[in-house]
Amino acid sequence: MRATPLDTLLTLRKHELQAVERTFSEALSQEADAAAEVARAERHLIEEQKMASDPLADDGAVEAFSRWLPVGRAAINSARHNEKNAGLAREIAKSALMMARAAVETVETLQKKRRAEEDAAALRREQNVLDEVGARQSGGN
């Protein structure tokens, strides 16, 4: 059986789907990394705060914490911003994945429809031959 344009299109759509699946997987990984970075930055803030609020800590520890606090907050804000962007990238990749899957399914459905039409046409041709043979036999008697 020779390849049809739909076979070629299906192959192309499947390759596109594989590429989009890789992109989605990468987006999920980046989002997880970004969430982990937020958690690390928040843990670091808590650790620094605990050291500064330790009753045995001297004034230098409190002053160091007060100088570090803007840096720590900026790190948390930056990590949250990166996490938000990673989430948006994941959503975009998810939409692309759904569209790629739909494109594959559309071509597959169209292929099935074409095959059914071809099978029906073949059955009609076969029936026409049988009808013609039957007409010749009844006309010849």
Domains in the chain and their CATH numbers?
5-113 (1.10.287.620)
- Provide the pLDDT for residue 141: 59
Degrees to nearest 5, angle at CA 86 with 33 and 40: 35
Quick one: the chain helix, strand, coil %, rounded to 5? 95, 0, 5
How far is Cα 11 from Cα 18, in angstroms, rounded to an integer? 11
pLDDT digits (tens, 9 = 90+) for 53-73: 999 889 999 999 999 999 999
Read off the pTM.
0.77
